[in-house]
Structure 1
Amino acid sequence: MRICVFLSAADLPERYTGPARDFAERLGRAGHTLVWGGSDAGLMKVVADGVQNAGGRLCGVSVTFLQGVARPNADEMVFAADLAERKKLMLERADAVVIMVGGTGTLDEATEILELKKHGHTDKPVVLLNTAGFYDGLAQQFRRMEDEGFLARPLAELMYFADEPAGALAYLESAPGASEVG
């Protein structure tokens, strides 16, 4: 399976890097391919290292203005002209999506895939990996959106919330259509 992971390129504390490394190693050991932002810095590097060291493949999708921090030894590296094209290319190459901790860029990527799912433009499984409770507030906001009628589909159809890496990967591997690109 080709799993797109949206996440930060920032250097983060162990409470975030440890679970990210755990997820990456599980992904690699299972023979999956990581589709990620292509950066060789911060949490993106931690995840790419974990996947590669555990035997998985790397498909990076970077942007031309970040070429200087792109991972040099990825199995595949594509450069997009801008961030919008990068998101599009990442999603086209993925069978499933995991949203890890991140800032505004990660939030933008997360809402894009959810909007596509809401409108029926994709049925790829999406997992929000809520490491160390990072997304508790966002999860609460999504539930409020659902409760107050702002979502056209039930929240459970849009995304799965996981607190641990093992649960995130288990969900993806059992989700219908997860191995079908499109």
Structure 2
Amino acid sequence: MATIDSVCVYCGASKGADPRFVAEARAFGLDLAHNGIRLIYGGGGIGLMGEVASAVALNGGHVTGIIPEFLISRERAFAHKAELIVTQDMHERKRLMFERADAFVALPGGVGTLEELVEQLTWAQLGQHAKPILVLNTAGFWDPFLRLLDHMRDSAFIRDAAPVNLLVANEASEILPMLRRAVAPLSETTLHTPGDAEAVARM
């Protein structure tokens, strides 16, 4: 049975308007540290990125930040103890984040967070990986996106023939148990044949 040794977290470079966003980001970081799971993230020291990474690092956990050179001054590379990888561009950053992660979790964030989440859903649908993908739906943040997926399904743009399972947790404490239940070796997972790039579904 495969294990979760590292988790890639996508989230905002701002803290958002609801204080629950920060509280849940910190709680998830603490869970990662206490469970010995490495955080893979975008390398920033601000916003929810900084909150989750700080919670991991300050509680004895392991952090790998991957940041393109042009964003170091804008997002302030993480200041606590961490492995920091500086890339030439966004494409290299995303490739390394994918390669080093056993699962993907999207916290609240902006269009960059959304883009990274949808990319992983698409890659999974195309059979490029079977790593679990989860959104932390703090204060219902992801509800509009989940409704959009339902609308796409109702409109026959998302079909059951090639689904991608999107896990949804309402609280940080639910994330690791859900990921552990979902993870499985590629050899035991039925991957979908690439050919329907629009087929993205949620459980």
What TM-score results when the alignment is normalised by the length of structure 1? 0.90
User: C-alpha distance in 2, partners of 1:22/1:154?
Assistant: 37
Matched, 1:2 2:9: no
Matched, 1:39 2:34: no
User: C-alpha distance in 2, partners of 1:135/1:58?
Assistant: 26
Q: Which residue is equivalent to 1:65?
A: 70
User: C-alpha distance in 2, partners of 1:84/1:146?
Assistant: 30
User: C-alpha distance in 2, partners of 1:24/1:143?
Assistant: 30
User: C-alpha distance in 2, partners of 1:61/1:154?
Assistant: 35
Determine which of 143, 146, 151 is the counterpart of 1:144.
Answer: 151
Q: 1:169 offset after TM fit, Å? A: 1.6
User: C-alpha distance in 2, partners of 1:177/1:19?
Assistant: 26
Matched, 1:175 2:175: no
Of residues 154-163 and 33-42 in structure 1, the stretch that sits farther from structure 2 once superposed is: 154-163
User: C-alpha distance in 2, partners of 1:168/1:93?
Assistant: 19
Matched, 1:120 2:124: no
Of residues 31-40 and 10-19 in structure 1, the stretch that sits farther from structure 2 once superposed is: 10-19
What TM-score results when the alignment is normalised by the length of structure 2? 0.81
Q: 1:14 offset after TM fit, Å? A: 1.5
Q: 1:84 offset after TM fit, Å? A: 2.4
Q: 1:174 offset after TM fit, Å? A: 2.3
Q: Which residue is equivalent to 1:50?
A: 55
Q: How many residues align?
A: 180
User: C-alpha distance in 1, partners of 2:170/2:161?
Assistant: 20
User: C-alpha distance in 1, partners of 2:29/2:7?
Assistant: 10
User: C-alpha distance in 2, partners of 1:36/1:90?
Assistant: 7
The 1:74–1:148 alpha-carbon spacing in structure 2 relative to 1, beyond 3 Å, is farther
Q: 1:80 offset after TM fit, Å? A: 1.8
Matched, 1:110 2:114: no
More helix, by proportion: 1
Contact 1:118 1:152 in 2 (8 A): no
Identity of aligned residues (%): 35
The 1:86–1:29 alpha-carbon spacing in structure 2 relative to 1, beyond 3 Å, is same
Structure 1 runs not aligned, ≥5 long: none
**Root-mean-square deviation over aligned CA pairs:** 2.1
Matched, 1:98 2:105: yes
Q: Which residue is equivalent to 1:165?
A: 172
User: C-alpha distance in 1, partners of 2:169/2:161?
Assistant: 17
The 1:33–1:65 alpha-carbon spacing in structure 2 relative to 1, beyond 3 Å, is same
Q: 1:151 offset after TM fit, Å? A: 2.9
Q: Which residue is equivalent to 1:25?
A: 30
Contact 1:35 1:58 in 2 (8 A): yes
Contact 1:146 1:155 in 2 (8 A): no
Q: 1:144 offset after TM fit, Å? A: 2.1
- Highest Rg: 1 or 2? 2
Q: 1:149 offset after TM fit, Å? A: 2.9
User: C-alpha distance in 2, partners of 1:137/1:11?
Assistant: 19
AA matched with 2:43:
G
Q: 1:166 offset after TM fit, Å? A: 1.2
User: C-alpha distance in 2, partners of 1:153/1:61?
Assistant: 35
Contact 2:32 2:38 in 1 (8 A): yes
